[in-house]
Amino acid sequence: MSQKITSYQGREITPDELKQGKYLDIVYKFEPKYSWAAGVAISRFLTELKDGKIVARKCHKCERILVPPRMYCEQCYRPTDDWVQVKDTGTVNTFSISHVGTDARRLKTSILVAVVDIDGASPGMGILHNLGEVEPSRISIGMKVKAVWKGPEERQGAITDIRYFKPIES
């Protein structure tokens, strides 16, 4: 015994058919409500940024100093042990010069972004942030930089409390 399979092809609903009321069309405005928590490590990190300090977590087993801080060491798979303050200077690990904005439009002024390995943290521990006070052609891997902070009254406890990192004159 064989079954006959019927295929029905769909077709596009036109705007006129919607206007004529041939189809049910419901517009519903959805306003999601949510909350977000930064967690213990990043909450403390952001609070310290508001005070003009960069903090890290130290793992006593592998001796790494982690920036941004985390409560667990992903190398040892154990809780980290202590809070330590690190410097607001560092070294450009890698960088990008962007001529296109997030909306895909061409920018008049390039965006200069780098991963800055923070002095006092373990190698490879850094912050992705903007560079400033530097010509794009002068940026290089290994370049020493220093944080330029917003004024204390402007800080909000965000990574943007650091305006950018600028080259340290050698």
Query: CB atoms < 10 A from the CB of 166, how many?
Result: 15
**Distance between CA atoms of residues 157 and 45, nearest Å:** 8
pTM over 0.75, yes/no: yes
**Distance between CA atoms of residues 28 and 18, nearest Å:** 16
Domain ranges of the chain: 39-167
3-state secondary structure of 118: strand
Q: What string of H, E and C letters represents the secondary structure of 52-83?
A: CCEEEEECCCCCCEECCCCCEECCCCEECCEE
127 close to 118: Cβ distance less than 8 angstroms: yes
Q: Is the Cα dihedral 141, 105, 159, 32 positive or negative?
A: negative
Q: How far is CA 167 from the centre of its chain?
A: 21
> Does the N-terminal peptide bond of residue 68 adopt cis geometry, omega within 30 degrees of 0?
yes
114 close to 93: Cβ distance less than 8 angstroms: yes
| 40 membership: H or E segment, kind and range | helix 39-50
List the pLDDT tens digit at each of the 170 positions of the chain.
Answer: 667 777 677 788 888 888 898 887 778 888 888 888 899 999 999 999 999 999 999 999 999 999 999 999 999 999 999 999 999 999 999 999 999 988 889 999 999 999 999 999 999 999 999 999 999 999 999 999 999 999 999 999 999 999 999 999 86
